[in-house]
Amino acid sequence: MLSWLSPRRWHRRILLVIAGLVTGALAIGFAVGAEMAITAHRELMREHPALTLFIAPTGFALLAWLSQRLFPGTEGSGIPQTIAAAQSDDARVRRELLSVRIIVGKILLTLGGLLSGAAVGREGPSVQVGASVMHLLAGLRRRIASPRDLIVAGSGAGIAAAFNTPLGGIMFAIEEMCRHRAFRANSTTLTAVIFAGLMSLAVLGNYTYFGRTPQTILWPGGIWPVVACGIAGGLLGGGFSRLLAASARGLPGRLGEVSRRRPVFFAAGCGLATGLIGLASGGITYGTGYEESKAALEGLAPLPVLFVFLKLLVIWLAFVARIPGGIFAPALAVGAGMGSDIALLLPGAHDAAVLVLGMVAFLAAMTQAPITSFVIVMEMTANHQMLIPLMATAVVAHGIPRSAAPVPLYEALAYPALRRAEGRVAARGRQP
């Protein structure tokens, strides 16, 4: 009984609460900034669409240069770096991947990517930002929790605040961050996720990321959308995961040589290609794909048949350019596009319900995190009636790519991120 009155225990809890609130506040500011950046780019492209041929390559080149010279460790999603930091026992390596510098750089450069029209999201970066906030507690003299537990807690809090999905944040921490070890950070993670979620709730209200989609599918006829989305999502998501993992190891031939020797020039080329695709598609491939997906879910504007393939291409271009920005939200847009195409082949099915199944299928196959995928999508659409179809779709989609891509995407990307961080630490150690 007296242990509850221990000043040390209350000091630990208060610090965890503060860190959770700070994570939530940063995620909210990040979300508001991302919305402003997307809106500014959209308005500019509406008035002067050809400007993308200058803005996109210039922006990509500048972001690649800044991430290499001033903010190393911010490139890409942020989830692989967070996993790499959790796997490392070296405090110097963890600080390369999680720090105040990373927080500032990750937010600013991701917003720059959205201003440039890159197909990136803020959700993966929010994981690295949340983990960086929580990891700051590891530097205190009085032990709050182990560095790994703090990183896991921060990653869950980042997802919870970014999507406004508390259960999704907890499942992400368990399924993605603790894939190869027991989940022991129960109280630490719950505290961080709950208070990050409370901050989001207090400022933004009880909103759902994609609005509310009450449509559902009925059994036994609903088995066909589940099977179709599961198989298509498994093949497409698994194949894309393998492509990204292979691209992270290096591109082949002349293209790979240019990307290694002249990364800023290569990033500019990726930006130019992104601008050309955006110009040719009428602007639907820019940014996260959130607006297009939400409009399709609400029945306001259908997604074009080629949207899924064009979106995959611009996501890959941002990825190989190694500019900061996540692939989590753009992947949901790809899944929505896939579901939209499948709905055309299934007359009588509710289009919005099939779109939601497509989102779960592609995300589950790409990340190999089926529970996180269906929980997050269910929370984002506030449609609990779709729980069983979402679960079934995630299981089907998850089972297909296991042989083609045995290593989950973020885990495959974490290894090179860890090696790069270790290389930077070793290089500084050799300096006189």
CA-wise closest residue to 94 among 102, 86, 105: 86
pLDDT at 43: 93
Most confident of 300-304, 310-314, 330-334, 382-386: 310-314
187-198 pLDDT, tens digit per residue, is 777 777 777 777
**Spatial separation of the C-alpha atoms in residues 395 and 409, rounded to whole Å:** 17
Is the domain spanning 8-204 CATH 1.10.3080.10? The answer is yes
3-state SS, 328-386, equals HHHHHHHHHHHHHHHHHCCCCCCHHHHHHHHHHHHHHHHHCCHHHHHHHHHHHHCCHHH
**Longest CA span, the chain:** 71
339-376 pLDDT, tens digit per residue, is 989 988 887 667 788 888 999 999 999 988 888 888 88
**Spatial separation of the C-alpha atoms in residues 79 and 74, rounded to whole Å:** 10
CB 378 within 8 A of CB 386: yes
**Spatial separation of the C-alpha atoms in residues 429 and 158, rounded to whole Å:** 32
Which residue in this structure is represented by tokens 């803020």?
A: 122
Which residue in this structure is represented by tokens 């803005």?
A: 55
Residue 175 DSSP symbol: I
- Count Cβ atoms below 10 Å from residue 327 Cβ, excluding itself: 28
- Containing 4, the helix (H) or strand (E) segment is none
Tokens for 15? 């610090």
State the average pLDDT for the chain.
Answer: 85
Task: Please tell me the number of Cα atoms within 13 Å of 72 on its side-chain side.
Answer: 15
List phi, psi (to 5°) of 181: -150, 160
- Tell me the average pLDDT across 15-36: 86
- Tell me the average pLDDT across 287-294: 85
pLDDT at 2: 44
CA-wise closest residue to 336 among 361, 313, 316, 318: 361
Asked whether the predicted pLDDT for residue 394 surpasses 80, the reply is yes
Asked whether the predicted pLDDT for residue 54 surpasses 90, the reply is yes
**Spatial separation of the C-alpha atoms in residues 67 and 267, rounded to whole Å:** 12
pLDDT at 211: 59
Residue 173 DSSP symbol: I
316 falls in which pLDDT band (50, 70, 90)?
very high
CB 119 within 8 A of CB 314: yes
What class has domain 223-415?
A: mainly alpha
- Tell me the average pLDDT across 375-380: 83
Tokens for 96? 């390369």
* Three-class SS state of 287: coil
Tokens for 81? 């770096």
Domain ranges of the chain: 8-204, 223-415
Q: H helices within 116-262, ranges in order?
A: 123-135, 147-163, 166-172, 186-204, 223-249, 253-261
Which residue in this structure is represented by tokens 């869950």?
A: 156
Tokens for 40? 């500014």
36 falls in which pLDDT band (50, 70, 90)?
very high
- Tell me the average pLDDT across 18-32: 87
232-285 pLDDT, tens digit per residue, is 999 999 999 999 999 988 888 888 889 899 999 999 999 999 999 999 998 999
CA-wise closest residue to 119 among 275, 318, 390, 296: 318
- Tell me the average pLDDT across 176-197: 70
* Three-class SS state of 109: helix
CA-wise closest residue to 334 among 374, 361, 372, 300: 361
Dihedral of the CA atoms 371, 376, 382, 383 (nearest 10)? -30
**Spatial separation of the C-alpha atoms in residues 423 and 417, rounded to whole Å:** 10
* CB environment 121-133: b (16+ within 10 A), e (fewer): bbbbbbbbbbbbb
CA-wise closest residue to 320 among 419, 407, 252: 252
The pTM of the full predicted model, rounded to 2 decimals, is 0.90
Asked whether the predicted pLDDT for residue 380 surpasses 90, the reply is no
pLDDT at 1: 46
Asked whether the predicted pLDDT for residue 311 surpasses 70, the reply is yes
